[in-house]
Amino acid sequence: MKVSTALFSSLSLCISASSSLYIPLSDSFSNSKLSSLLSFSLSPNTYPNIDELPLIDTQAYQNLVNVTDLESGANDLYSFAEYSIKQYDHPTRVIGSKGHWKTIGYILSTLNRYKYYYDISTQDFFSTQGKVKFSMLKVNDQLVEDAQPLSLTPPTPNKKAVTGPLVLVDNEGCDVSDFKSNEAAIKDSIVLIKRGTCPFGLKSQLAGQFGALAAVIYNNEPGLFQGTLGEPLDDQVASLGISSEVASIYIDELKNGATLNTTVVVDSYIQKIKTTNVIATSKSGDQDNVVMLGGHTDSVEAGPGINDDGSGTISLLNLAVYLTNFKLNNAVRFAFWAAEEEGLVGSTFYVNSLSPKENSKIRLFMDYDMMGSPNYAYQVYDANNNDNPIGSEELKNLYIDWYTENALNYTLIRFDGRSDYDAFIKNGIPGGGIATGAEGIKTKQEASMFGGVAGDWYDPCYHQLCDDLSNPNYEAWEINTRLIAHSVATYAKSLKAFPLREDLIYSQTHKVPVFKYHGDHLII
Protein backbone atom coordinates (compact mmCIF):
# COMPACT_ATOMS: atom_id res chain seq x y z
CA MET A 1 0.00 0.00 0.00
CA LYS A 2 1.39 3.38 0.85
CA VAL A 3 4.53 1.93 2.22
CA SER A 4 5.43 0.00 -0.89
CA THR A 5 4.85 2.95 -3.19
CA ALA A 6 6.97 4.97 -0.84
CA LEU A 7 9.64 2.33 -1.17
CA PHE A 8 9.39 2.58 -4.88
CA SER A 9 9.90 6.29 -4.60
CA SER A 10 12.79 5.81 -2.23
CA LEU A 11 14.42 3.46 -4.63
CA SER A 12 14.27 5.76 -7.58
CA LEU A 13 15.43 8.62 -5.48
CA CYS A 14 18.32 6.73 -4.00
CA ILE A 15 19.42 5.47 -7.36
CA SER A 16 19.32 8.89 -8.89
CA ALA A 17 21.13 10.30 -5.92
CA SER A 18 23.64 7.45 -6.42
CA SER A 19 23.59 6.56 -2.78
CA SER A 20 23.37 3.01 -1.53
CA LEU A 21 20.30 1.05 -2.51
CA TYR A 22 18.28 -0.18 0.39
CA ILE A 23 15.00 -1.48 1.59
CA PRO A 24 14.09 -0.09 4.99
CA LEU A 25 12.82 -3.35 6.45
CA SER A 26 12.12 -6.76 5.10
CA ASP A 27 8.62 -7.13 6.57
CA SER A 28 7.31 -4.33 4.43
CA PHE A 29 8.75 -5.98 1.41
CA SER A 30 5.64 -7.72 0.25
CA ASN A 31 4.69 -5.79 -2.85
CA SER A 32 5.13 -8.08 -5.80
CA LYS A 33 5.32 -5.24 -8.29
CA LEU A 34 8.20 -3.81 -6.38
CA SER A 35 9.80 -7.23 -5.90
CA SER A 36 9.82 -7.80 -9.61
CA LEU A 37 11.69 -4.57 -10.09
CA LEU A 38 14.50 -5.93 -8.05
CA SER A 39 16.63 -8.65 -9.57
CA PHE A 40 18.45 -9.39 -6.36
CA SER A 41 17.49 -10.01 -2.78
CA LEU A 42 18.31 -7.85 0.17
CA SER A 43 19.32 -8.85 3.63
CA PRO A 44 16.54 -8.23 6.16
CA ASN A 45 19.00 -6.34 8.30
CA THR A 46 20.28 -4.01 5.66
CA TYR A 47 19.67 -0.52 6.91
CA PRO A 48 21.09 2.52 5.24
CA ASN A 49 23.67 4.59 6.96
CA ILE A 50 21.64 7.74 7.51
CA ASP A 51 24.71 9.93 7.27
CA GLU A 52 25.25 8.75 3.71
CA LEU A 53 21.78 9.77 2.56
CA PRO A 54 21.39 12.98 0.58
CA LEU A 55 20.65 16.07 2.62
CA ILE A 56 16.96 16.98 2.73
CA ASP A 57 15.97 19.07 -0.26
CA THR A 58 12.55 20.61 -0.61
CA GLN A 59 12.05 19.83 -4.29
CA ALA A 60 13.19 16.23 -4.00
CA TYR A 61 10.96 15.74 -0.95
CA GLN A 62 7.92 17.38 -2.55
CA ASN A 63 8.41 15.20 -5.64
CA LEU A 64 7.81 12.09 -3.56
CA VAL A 65 4.24 13.13 -2.75
CA ASN A 66 1.90 10.84 -4.65
CA VAL A 67 -1.88 11.07 -4.61
CA THR A 68 -2.15 7.30 -5.01
CA ASP A 69 -0.54 6.96 -1.59
CA LEU A 70 -3.03 9.42 -0.13
CA GLU A 71 -5.94 7.51 -1.65
CA SER A 72 -4.76 4.16 -0.38
CA GLY A 73 -4.18 5.66 3.08
CA ALA A 74 -7.73 7.04 3.07
CA ASN A 75 -9.02 3.60 2.05
CA ASP A 76 -7.18 2.02 4.94
CA LEU A 77 -8.62 4.51 7.44
CA TYR A 78 -12.12 3.94 6.14
CA SER A 79 -11.72 0.18 6.49
CA PHE A 80 -10.68 0.73 10.13
CA ALA A 81 -13.71 2.95 10.74
CA GLU A 82 -15.91 0.06 9.58
CA TYR A 83 -14.69 -2.04 12.50
CA SER A 84 -16.67 0.30 14.76
CA ILE A 85 -20.02 -0.43 13.10
CA LYS A 86 -20.85 -3.20 15.53
CA GLN A 87 -20.63 -0.85 18.51
CA TYR A 88 -21.72 2.46 16.94
CA ASP A 89 -24.00 1.36 14.07
CA HIS A 90 -21.87 3.32 11.60
CA PRO A 91 -18.21 3.78 10.67
CA THR A 92 -16.29 5.99 13.10
CA ARG A 93 -12.80 6.50 14.44
CA VAL A 94 -13.84 8.25 17.65
CA ILE A 95 -11.49 7.69 20.60
CA GLY A 96 -12.05 4.37 22.32
CA SER A 97 -13.57 2.78 19.21
CA LYS A 98 -12.06 -0.15 17.31
CA GLY A 99 -11.66 2.17 14.34
CA HIS A 100 -9.47 4.52 16.34
CA TRP A 101 -7.35 1.79 17.91
CA LYS A 102 -6.77 0.29 14.48
CA THR A 103 -5.72 3.71 13.19
CA ILE A 104 -3.16 3.96 15.97
CA GLY A 105 -1.94 0.42 15.32
CA TYR A 106 -1.53 1.21 11.63
CA ILE A 107 0.51 4.34 12.33
CA LEU A 108 2.72 2.42 14.74
CA SER A 109 3.27 -0.54 12.45
CA THR A 110 4.10 1.74 9.53
CA LEU A 111 6.56 3.78 11.59
CA ASN A 112 8.06 0.69 13.17
CA ARG A 113 9.41 -0.31 9.77
CA TYR A 114 11.64 2.72 10.03
CA LYS A 115 12.86 2.21 13.58
CA TYR A 116 16.41 2.76 12.43
CA TYR A 117 15.37 6.26 11.38
CA TYR A 118 12.90 7.29 14.13
CA ASP A 119 12.63 7.19 17.88
CA ILE A 120 9.00 6.20 18.28
CA SER A 121 6.95 6.49 21.42
CA THR A 122 3.37 6.44 22.58
CA GLN A 123 1.90 8.60 25.28
CA ASP A 124 -1.21 7.36 27.07
CA PHE A 125 -3.69 9.71 28.67
CA PHE A 126 -7.33 9.87 29.65
CA SER A 127 -9.91 11.93 27.88
CA THR A 128 -13.44 12.72 28.88
CA GLN A 129 -16.32 11.83 26.68
CA GLY A 130 -19.96 12.38 27.36
CA LYS A 131 -23.40 11.98 25.94
CA VAL A 132 -26.66 13.76 26.73
CA LYS A 133 -29.47 11.26 26.21
CA PHE A 134 -32.31 13.55 27.19
CA SER A 135 -32.77 17.09 28.44
CA MET A 136 -35.70 19.36 29.17
CA LEU A 137 -36.32 22.86 30.46
CA LYS A 138 -39.73 24.11 31.59
CA VAL A 139 -40.50 27.60 32.85
CA ASN A 140 -43.91 28.05 34.47
CA ASP A 141 -45.00 24.77 32.91
CA GLN A 142 -44.05 26.00 29.43
CA LEU A 143 -41.56 23.82 27.58
CA VAL A 144 -38.57 25.85 26.34
CA GLU A 145 -38.22 24.10 23.04
CA ASP A 146 -34.89 25.39 21.89
CA ALA A 147 -33.01 24.90 25.18
CA GLN A 148 -29.71 23.16 24.37
CA PRO A 149 -27.81 21.07 26.89
CA LEU A 150 -24.12 21.99 27.14
CA SER A 151 -21.79 19.16 26.16
CA LEU A 152 -20.27 17.28 29.09
CA THR A 153 -23.04 18.47 31.40
CA PRO A 154 -23.59 16.26 34.41
CA PRO A 155 -27.10 14.83 34.80
CA THR A 156 -29.60 16.21 37.27
CA PRO A 157 -29.55 14.10 40.49
CA ASN A 158 -30.71 10.57 39.68
CA LYS A 159 -31.48 11.89 36.17
CA LYS A 160 -34.77 13.16 37.61
CA ALA A 161 -36.41 16.54 37.42
CA VAL A 162 -35.31 19.33 39.72
CA THR A 163 -37.63 22.27 40.30
CA GLY A 164 -36.99 25.69 41.79
CA PRO A 165 -37.44 29.37 41.11
CA LEU A 166 -35.39 30.90 38.32
CA VAL A 167 -32.86 33.34 39.84
CA LEU A 168 -30.76 35.77 37.81
CA VAL A 169 -27.06 35.84 38.72
CA ASP A 170 -25.26 39.20 38.77
CA ASN A 171 -22.87 40.15 35.97
CA GLU A 172 -21.63 37.11 34.06
CA GLY A 173 -21.37 34.66 36.92
CA CYS A 174 -17.60 34.39 36.66
CA ASP A 175 -16.85 35.52 40.16
CA VAL A 176 -17.83 34.33 43.63
CA SER A 177 -19.14 37.83 44.33
CA ASP A 178 -21.69 37.50 41.52
CA PHE A 179 -23.35 34.71 43.51
CA LYS A 180 -22.57 35.91 47.03
CA SER A 181 -24.74 38.98 46.53
CA ASN A 182 -27.83 36.81 46.21
CA GLU A 183 -26.73 33.75 48.14
CA ALA A 184 -29.98 32.88 49.95
CA ALA A 185 -32.11 33.02 46.81
CA ILE A 186 -29.64 31.01 44.75
CA LYS A 187 -29.67 28.01 47.08
CA ASP A 188 -32.11 25.39 45.69
CA SER A 189 -32.88 27.59 42.70
CA ILE A 190 -32.29 27.24 38.98
CA VAL A 191 -29.80 30.00 38.15
CA LEU A 192 -29.90 32.09 35.01
CA ILE A 193 -26.41 33.24 33.96
CA LYS A 194 -25.26 35.38 31.07
CA ARG A 195 -22.75 33.91 28.63
CA GLY A 196 -19.36 35.63 28.37
CA THR A 197 -15.95 36.45 29.86
CA CYS A 198 -15.24 33.06 31.49
CA PRO A 199 -15.80 29.43 30.47
CA PHE A 200 -19.23 27.84 30.80
CA GLY A 201 -17.57 25.25 33.02
CA LEU A 202 -16.71 27.83 35.67
CA LYS A 203 -20.22 29.32 35.71
CA SER A 204 -21.70 25.87 36.25
CA GLN A 205 -19.20 25.08 39.00
CA LEU A 206 -19.91 28.31 40.90
CA ALA A 207 -23.64 27.67 40.55
CA GLY A 208 -23.17 24.26 42.16
CA GLN A 209 -20.98 25.64 44.93
CA PHE A 210 -23.75 28.06 45.88
CA GLY A 211 -26.31 25.27 46.03
CA ALA A 212 -28.15 25.87 42.75
CA LEU A 213 -29.97 22.81 41.39
CA ALA A 214 -29.13 23.51 37.74
CA ALA A 215 -27.82 26.33 35.55
CA VAL A 216 -29.34 27.99 32.51
CA ILE A 217 -26.82 30.02 30.53
CA TYR A 218 -28.25 32.55 28.10
CA ASN A 219 -26.54 33.80 24.98
CA ASN A 220 -24.93 37.23 24.82
CA GLU A 221 -25.40 37.25 21.04
CA PRO A 222 -28.58 36.71 19.02
CA GLY A 223 -29.75 33.13 18.72
CA LEU A 224 -28.57 29.92 20.32
CA PHE A 225 -25.07 28.63 20.97
CA GLN A 226 -23.62 25.13 21.22
CA GLY A 227 -21.08 25.09 24.01
CA THR A 228 -19.32 22.64 26.28
CA LEU A 229 -18.54 22.63 29.99
CA GLY A 230 -15.15 21.17 29.10
CA GLU A 231 -13.21 18.90 31.45
CA PRO A 232 -15.50 18.16 34.43
CA LEU A 233 -14.90 20.20 37.57
CA ASP A 234 -16.19 19.43 41.05
CA ASP A 235 -19.61 20.76 42.04
CA GLN A 236 -20.83 21.40 38.48
CA VAL A 237 -24.58 21.13 37.97
CA ALA A 238 -26.73 20.20 34.98
CA SER A 239 -26.39 23.08 32.50
CA LEU A 240 -28.45 24.16 29.52
CA GLY A 241 -28.14 27.06 27.11
CA ILE A 242 -30.95 29.31 25.84
CA SER A 243 -31.12 32.16 23.35
CA SER A 244 -30.80 35.80 24.34
CA GLU A 245 -34.31 36.40 22.95
CA VAL A 246 -35.98 33.86 25.23
CA ALA A 247 -33.87 34.98 28.20
CA SER A 248 -34.83 38.64 27.82
CA ILE A 249 -38.49 37.75 28.43
CA TYR A 250 -37.62 35.98 31.69
CA ILE A 251 -35.28 38.72 32.79
CA ASP A 252 -38.01 41.33 32.33
CA GLU A 253 -40.46 39.22 34.29
CA LEU A 254 -37.96 38.64 37.09
CA LYS A 255 -37.20 42.35 37.28
CA ASN A 256 -40.92 42.97 37.64
CA GLY A 257 -40.93 40.67 40.65
CA ALA A 258 -42.47 37.57 39.05
CA THR A 259 -41.62 34.06 40.26
CA LEU A 260 -40.69 31.70 37.46
CA ASN A 261 -41.16 28.11 38.56
CA THR A 262 -38.52 26.24 36.58
CA THR A 263 -37.88 22.55 36.01
CA VAL A 264 -34.78 20.96 34.54
CA VAL A 265 -34.15 17.33 33.60
CA VAL A 266 -30.87 16.10 32.18
CA ASP A 267 -30.09 12.45 31.55
CA SER A 268 -26.43 12.28 30.59
CA TYR A 269 -23.22 10.45 31.34
CA ILE A 270 -19.56 11.30 31.33
CA GLN A 271 -16.84 8.70 31.00
CA LYS A 272 -13.06 8.61 30.98
CA ILE A 273 -11.47 6.95 27.99
CA LYS A 274 -7.84 5.95 27.78
CA THR A 275 -6.18 6.73 24.48
CA THR A 276 -2.75 7.42 23.01
CA ASN A 277 -0.62 9.94 21.15
CA VAL A 278 2.07 8.59 18.83
CA ILE A 279 5.30 10.58 18.55
CA ALA A 280 8.17 9.88 16.16
CA THR A 281 11.40 11.90 16.15
CA SER A 282 14.06 11.49 13.48
CA LYS A 283 17.41 10.26 14.75
CA SER A 284 18.97 12.43 12.07
CA GLY A 285 19.43 16.13 12.78
CA ASP A 286 20.15 18.32 15.78
CA GLN A 287 18.04 17.02 18.66
CA ASP A 288 18.20 20.40 20.39
CA ASN A 289 16.48 22.10 17.46
CA VAL A 290 13.34 20.16 16.72
CA VAL A 291 10.95 20.90 13.86
CA MET A 292 7.57 19.57 14.95
CA LEU A 293 4.34 18.93 13.10
CA GLY A 294 1.11 17.15 13.95
CA GLY A 295 -2.33 16.00 12.89
CA HIS A 296 -5.05 14.20 14.83
CA THR A 297 -5.87 10.52 14.49
CA ASP A 298 -9.38 10.56 15.97
CA SER A 299 -12.70 11.46 14.38
CA VAL A 300 -15.94 12.56 15.98
CA GLU A 301 -18.42 9.81 16.84
CA ALA A 302 -20.76 10.77 13.98
CA GLY A 303 -18.53 9.59 11.15
CA PRO A 304 -15.27 8.11 9.85
CA GLY A 305 -13.38 11.42 9.66
CA ILE A 306 -11.61 10.92 6.35
CA ASN A 307 -11.02 14.62 5.76
CA ASP A 308 -11.11 15.53 9.48
CA ASP A 309 -8.40 14.54 10.09
CA GLY A 310 -7.72 11.40 8.13
CA SER A 311 -6.21 13.72 5.55
CA GLY A 312 -3.64 15.23 7.90
CA THR A 313 -2.89 11.84 9.43
CA ILE A 314 -2.18 10.24 6.05
CA SER A 315 -0.20 13.23 4.77
CA LEU A 316 2.03 13.06 7.82
CA LEU A 317 2.40 9.29 7.77
CA ASN A 318 3.43 9.31 4.13
CA LEU A 319 5.80 12.18 4.66
CA ALA A 320 7.33 10.37 7.64
CA VAL A 321 8.05 7.44 5.32
CA TYR A 322 9.36 9.61 2.49
CA LEU A 323 11.62 11.51 4.89
CA THR A 324 13.66 8.36 5.49
CA ASN A 325 15.35 9.04 2.14
CA PHE A 326 17.20 12.00 3.59
CA LYS A 327 19.58 13.07 6.25
CA LEU A 328 18.61 16.18 8.18
CA ASN A 329 20.31 19.12 9.85
CA ASN A 330 17.52 19.61 12.38
CA ALA A 331 15.49 16.81 13.90
CA VAL A 332 11.89 16.39 12.72
CA ARG A 333 9.17 15.22 15.11
CA PHE A 334 5.84 13.91 13.86
CA ALA A 335 2.93 13.92 16.30
CA PHE A 336 -0.22 11.88 15.78
CA TRP A 337 -2.58 13.31 18.37
CA ALA A 338 -5.58 11.57 19.89
CA ALA A 339 -8.71 13.17 21.38
CA GLU A 340 -8.46 16.39 19.40
CA GLU A 341 -12.20 16.19 18.94
CA GLU A 342 -12.76 15.98 22.70
CA GLY A 343 -11.07 19.37 23.09
CA LEU A 344 -7.41 19.17 21.96
CA VAL A 345 -6.78 16.76 24.81
CA GLY A 346 -3.81 14.84 23.37
CA SER A 347 -1.79 17.82 22.18
CA THR A 348 -2.49 19.69 25.41
CA PHE A 349 -1.39 16.68 27.46
CA TYR A 350 1.80 16.44 25.41
CA VAL A 351 2.77 20.10 25.78
CA ASN A 352 1.92 20.14 29.48
CA SER A 353 4.14 17.09 29.98
CA LEU A 354 7.22 18.76 28.48
CA SER A 355 9.96 19.82 30.87
CA PRO A 356 11.07 23.43 30.34
CA LYS A 357 14.21 22.05 28.71
CA GLU A 358 12.31 19.83 26.26
CA ASN A 359 9.90 22.65 25.53
CA SER A 360 12.81 24.94 24.64
CA LYS A 361 14.13 22.47 22.06
CA ILE A 362 10.97 22.68 19.95
CA ARG A 363 11.61 25.51 17.54
CA LEU A 364 8.13 25.50 16.03
CA PHE A 365 4.93 23.47 15.73
CA MET A 366 2.97 23.11 12.47
CA ASP A 367 -0.65 21.98 12.58
CA TYR A 368 -2.18 20.00 9.73
CA ASP A 369 -5.91 19.43 10.24
CA MET A 370 -8.35 19.02 7.30
CA MET A 371 -6.11 19.12 4.23
CA GLY A 372 -8.67 18.28 1.55
CA SER A 373 -12.11 19.77 2.13
CA PRO A 374 -14.38 19.17 -0.88
CA ASN A 375 -15.37 22.83 -1.27
CA TYR A 376 -11.89 23.91 -0.21
CA ALA A 377 -10.08 27.18 0.20
CA TYR A 378 -6.33 27.23 0.77
CA GLN A 379 -6.35 28.69 4.24
CA VAL A 380 -3.32 29.89 6.17
CA TYR A 381 -3.62 30.55 9.89
CA ASP A 382 -3.16 34.25 10.40
CA ALA A 383 -0.49 33.90 13.06
CA ASN A 384 1.66 36.88 13.92
CA ASN A 385 4.57 37.84 16.12
CA ASN A 386 2.65 40.30 18.29
CA ASP A 387 -0.04 38.02 19.66
CA ASN A 388 1.79 34.71 19.16
CA PRO A 389 5.29 33.48 19.99
CA ILE A 390 7.92 35.02 17.72
CA GLY A 391 8.45 32.87 14.64
CA SER A 392 4.73 32.26 14.10
CA GLU A 393 4.71 35.03 11.50
CA GLU A 394 7.73 33.65 9.65
CA LEU A 395 5.93 30.31 9.42
CA LYS A 396 2.79 31.99 8.08
CA ASN A 397 4.93 33.68 5.43
CA LEU A 398 6.47 30.38 4.39
CA TYR A 399 3.00 29.09 3.48
CA ILE A 400 2.03 32.31 1.74
CA ASP A 401 5.25 32.34 -0.29
CA TRP A 402 4.74 28.75 -1.40
CA TYR A 403 1.17 29.30 -2.58
CA THR A 404 2.29 32.46 -4.35
CA GLU A 405 5.25 30.76 -6.04
CA ASN A 406 2.94 27.98 -7.18
CA ALA A 407 0.42 30.48 -8.57
CA LEU A 408 -2.25 29.37 -6.11
CA ASN A 409 -4.63 31.62 -4.24
CA TYR A 410 -4.88 31.56 -0.44
CA THR A 411 -6.86 33.21 2.34
CA LEU A 412 -5.92 34.00 5.91
CA ILE A 413 -8.03 32.55 8.71
CA ARG A 414 -8.25 33.16 12.43
CA PHE A 415 -5.60 31.59 14.60
CA ASP A 416 -7.88 31.23 17.60
CA GLY A 417 -7.44 27.92 19.39
CA ARG A 418 -9.51 25.67 17.15
CA SER A 419 -6.87 23.01 16.59
CA ASP A 420 -3.85 21.34 18.15
CA TYR A 421 -1.51 24.33 17.87
CA ASP A 422 -3.34 25.85 20.85
CA ALA A 423 -1.23 24.42 23.69
CA PHE A 424 1.99 25.16 21.80
CA ILE A 425 1.39 28.86 21.32
CA LYS A 426 0.05 29.17 24.86
CA ASN A 427 3.37 27.75 26.06
CA GLY A 428 5.72 29.91 24.08
CA ILE A 429 6.29 27.68 21.04
CA PRO A 430 5.83 29.39 17.67
CA GLY A 431 3.06 27.82 15.66
CA GLY A 432 0.90 27.95 12.59
CA GLY A 433 -0.50 25.77 9.89
CA ILE A 434 -2.83 25.42 6.98
CA ALA A 435 -6.36 24.10 6.55
CA THR A 436 -9.02 23.91 3.85
CA GLY A 437 -12.15 24.81 5.82
CA ALA A 438 -14.81 23.19 7.98
CA GLU A 439 -18.33 24.52 8.63
CA GLY A 440 -17.56 28.01 7.37
CA ILE A 441 -19.34 29.33 4.30
CA LYS A 442 -17.48 29.92 1.06
CA THR A 443 -17.87 33.47 -0.21
CA LYS A 444 -18.43 34.44 -3.83
CA GLN A 445 -14.94 35.87 -3.95
CA GLU A 446 -13.51 32.61 -2.64
CA ALA A 447 -15.43 30.68 -5.27
CA SER A 448 -13.68 32.77 -7.92
CA MET A 449 -10.35 32.13 -6.22
CA PHE A 450 -10.67 28.37 -5.66
CA GLY A 451 -13.66 27.20 -7.65
CA GLY A 452 -16.38 25.32 -5.77
CA VAL A 453 -19.74 26.55 -4.55
CA ALA A 454 -20.33 29.92 -2.92
CA GLY A 455 -22.80 29.77 -0.05
CA ASP A 456 -21.94 26.16 0.87
CA TRP A 457 -19.76 24.97 3.71
CA TYR A 458 -16.11 24.31 2.81
CA ASP A 459 -16.76 20.81 4.06
CA PRO A 460 -20.49 20.03 3.86
CA CYS A 461 -19.73 16.69 5.55
CA TYR A 462 -17.88 18.26 8.47
CA HIS A 463 -18.39 16.11 11.59
CA GLN A 464 -20.91 13.91 9.81
CA LEU A 465 -21.26 10.37 8.56
CA CYS A 466 -20.57 11.47 4.98
CA ASP A 467 -16.96 12.45 5.77
CA ASP A 468 -16.07 9.26 3.94
CA LEU A 469 -13.88 8.27 0.99
CA SER A 470 -15.88 10.35 -1.45
CA ASN A 471 -15.57 13.48 0.68
CA PRO A 472 -12.03 14.80 0.26
CA ASN A 473 -10.88 16.81 -2.71
CA TYR A 474 -7.83 14.71 -3.49
CA GLU A 475 -6.20 17.37 -5.66
CA ALA A 476 -6.27 19.99 -2.91
CA TRP A 477 -5.08 17.36 -0.46
CA GLU A 478 -2.14 16.44 -2.69
CA ILE A 479 -1.17 20.07 -3.16
CA ASN A 480 -1.27 20.69 0.57
CA THR A 481 0.78 17.57 1.22
CA ARG A 482 3.46 19.08 -1.02
CA LEU A 483 3.31 22.24 1.04
CA ILE A 484 3.67 20.23 4.24
CA ALA A 485 6.72 18.58 2.67
CA HIS A 486 8.11 22.01 1.87
CA SER A 487 7.60 23.22 5.43
CA VAL A 488 9.39 20.19 6.85
CA ALA A 489 12.22 20.30 4.32
CA THR A 490 12.84 24.02 4.75
CA TYR A 491 13.22 23.90 8.52
CA ALA A 492 14.86 20.48 8.67
CA LYS A 493 17.55 21.89 6.40
CA SER A 494 18.01 25.21 8.17
CA LEU A 495 16.59 27.26 10.99
CA LYS A 496 19.18 29.98 10.54
CA ALA A 497 16.68 32.51 9.24
CA PHE A 498 14.06 31.48 11.81
CA PRO A 499 13.88 33.44 15.08
CA LEU A 500 15.43 31.81 18.13
CA ARG A 501 13.04 30.71 20.86
CA GLU A 502 12.28 33.40 23.34
CA ASP A 503 13.25 32.48 26.87
CA LEU A 504 10.96 30.34 28.90
CA ILE A 505 9.54 33.13 30.98
CA TYR A 506 7.28 33.62 27.96
CA SER A 507 4.15 32.76 29.85
CA GLN A 508 5.03 35.21 32.59
CA THR A 509 5.82 38.07 30.26
CA HIS A 510 3.05 37.47 27.74
CA LYS A 511 -0.61 37.32 28.38
CA VAL A 512 -1.77 33.85 27.46
CA PRO A 513 -4.49 34.37 24.87
CA VAL A 514 -8.08 33.68 25.88
CA PHE A 515 -9.92 31.99 23.03
CA LYS A 516 -13.64 31.35 22.78
CA TYR A 517 -12.90 27.98 21.24
CA HIS A 518 -10.93 25.02 22.48
CA GLY A 519 -10.79 22.79 19.45
CA ASP A 520 -14.21 22.69 17.87
CA HIS A 521 -15.79 23.38 21.20
CA LEU A 522 -17.15 26.68 22.26
CA ILE A 523 -16.05 27.10 25.87
CA ILE A 524 -16.82 30.77 26.54
Ligand X SMILES: *[C@@H]1O[C@H](CO)[C@@H](O)[C@H](O)[C@H]1NC(C)=O
Amino acid at 93: R
Q: Which helix or strand (DSSP H or E) is residue 81 part of?
A: helix 67-82
Q: Does 407 bind ligand X (CB under 6 A)?
A: yes
Q: Minimal distance in Å, beta carbon 4 to ligand X?
A: 7
Question: How wide is the angle at C-alpha 187 spanned by C-alphas 183 and 189, nearest 5°?
Answer: 120
Residue 275 near residue 349, CB atoms below 8 Å: no
Neighbours of 381 (CB within 10 A): 26
Q: Minimal distance in Å, beta carbon 24 to ligand X?
A: 17
* Helix pair angle (2-16, 67-82), 10° resolution: 160
Catalytic residue among 301, 340, 341, 446: 340
Q: Does 185 bind ligand X (CB under 6 A)?
A: no
Query: Which distant-in-sequence residues (6+ apart) come within 8 Å of 14 by Cβ?
Result: 20, 21, 22, 48, 53, 325
Q: Which helix or strand (DSSP H or E) is residue 125 part of?
A: strand 118-139
Q: Which does 497 bind (CB under 5 to 8 A by kind): ligand X, Zn ion, none?
A: none
Residues 366 to 425: which contact Zn ion by CB under 5 A? Answer: 369
Answer for which of 69, 298, 308, 478 binds Zn ion (CB under 5 A) is 308
- Give 516's Cβ-side CA count (13 Å radius): 8
What letter would DSSP give residue 512?
Answer: P
Q: Which does 449 bind (CB under 5 to 8 A by kind): ligand X, Zn ion, none?
A: ligand X
Neighbours of 146 (CB within 10 A): 13
Q: Does 307 bind ligand X (CB under 6 A)?
A: no
Which is nearer to ligand X, 79 or 409 (by Cβ)?
Answer: 409
Residue 343 near residue 230, CB atoms below 8 Å: yes
Which is nearer to ligand X, 385 or 411 (by Cβ)?
Answer: 411
Give the count of residues interacting with ligand X (CB under 6 A).
Answer: 12
Residue 293 near residue 287, CB atoms below 8 Å: no
Point out which span in 275-283, 341-349, 403-411, 456-464 binds ligand X (CB under 6 A).
Answer: 403-411
Which is nearer to Zn ion, 178 or 459 (by Cβ)?
Answer: 459
Which is nearer to ligand X, 162 or 229 (by Cβ)?
Answer: 162
Q: Which helix or strand (DSSP H or E) is residue 262 part of?
A: strand 261-282
Q: Minimal distance in Å, beta carbon 374 to ligand X?
A: 16
Which is nearer to ligand X, 407 or 497 (by Cβ)?
Answer: 407
Q: Does 342 bind Zn ion (CB under 5 A)?
A: no
Find the Cα–Cα–Cα–Cα dihedral 368, 371, 377, 383, rounded to 10°.
0
What letter would DSSP give residue 442?
Answer: P
Point out which span in 80-88, 142-150, 401-409, 410-418 binds ligand X (CB under 6 A).
Answer: 401-409
Residues 201 to 230: which contact Zn ion by CB under 5 A? Answer: none
Active site residue 439: no
Q: Which does 66 bind (CB under 5 to 8 A by kind): ligand X, Zn ion, none?
A: ligand X
Q: Which does 181 bind (CB under 5 to 8 A by kind): Zn ion, ligand X, none?
A: none
Q: Which does 128 bind (CB under 5 to 8 A by kind): ligand X, Zn ion, none?
A: none
Which is nearer to ligand X, 140 or 353 (by Cβ)?
Answer: 140
Q: Minimal distance in Å, beta carbon 344 to ligand X?
A: 32
272 backbone φψ class: left, alpha, beta (φ>0; ψ -120 to 50) = beta
Q: Minimal distance in Å, beta carbon 448 to ligand X?
A: 4
Amino acid at 171: N
Amino acid at 215: A
Q: Minimal distance in Å, beta carbon 8 to ligand X?
A: 7
Spatial separation of the C-alpha atoms in residues 377 and 398, rounded to whole Å: 17
Which is nearer to Zn ion, 201 or 519 (by Cβ)?
Answer: 519
Q: Minimal distance in Å, beta carbon 435 to Zn ion?
A: 9
Q: Which does 68 bind (CB under 5 to 8 A by kind): Zn ion, ligand X, none?
A: ligand X
Q: Does 141 bind ligand X (CB under 6 A)?
A: yes
Answer for which of 87, 226, 443, 448 binds ligand X (CB under 6 A) is 448
Terminal Cα-to-Cα distance of the chain (whole angstroms): 44
Q: Does 309 bind Zn ion (CB under 5 A)?
A: yes
Query: Which distant-in-sequence residues (6+ apart) come within 8 Å of 353 by Cβ?
Result: 123
Neighbours of 55 (CB within 10 A): 14
Query: Which distant-in-sequence residues (6+ apart) come within 8 Å of 110 by Cβ?
Result: 2, 3, 317, 320, 321
Instruction: Tell me the sheet residues that pair with 106.
Output: none
Question: How wide is the angle at C-alpha 147 spanned by C-alphas 145 and 149, nearest 5°?
Answer: 135
Which is nearer to ligand X, 7 or 25 (by Cβ)?
Answer: 7
Contact track, ligand X, 48-77, x by CB under 6 A: ------------------x-x---------
Residues 152 to 171: which contact ligand X by CB under 6 A? Answer: 163
Residues 343 to 382: which contact ligand X by CB under 6 A? Answer: none
Residue 71 near residue 473, CB atoms below 8 Å: no
Could you list the residues that contact Zn ion (CB under 5 A)? 308-309, 369
Active site residues: 340
Could you list the residues that contact ligand X (CB under 6 A)? 5, 66, 68, 141, 163, 261, 263, 407-409, 448-449
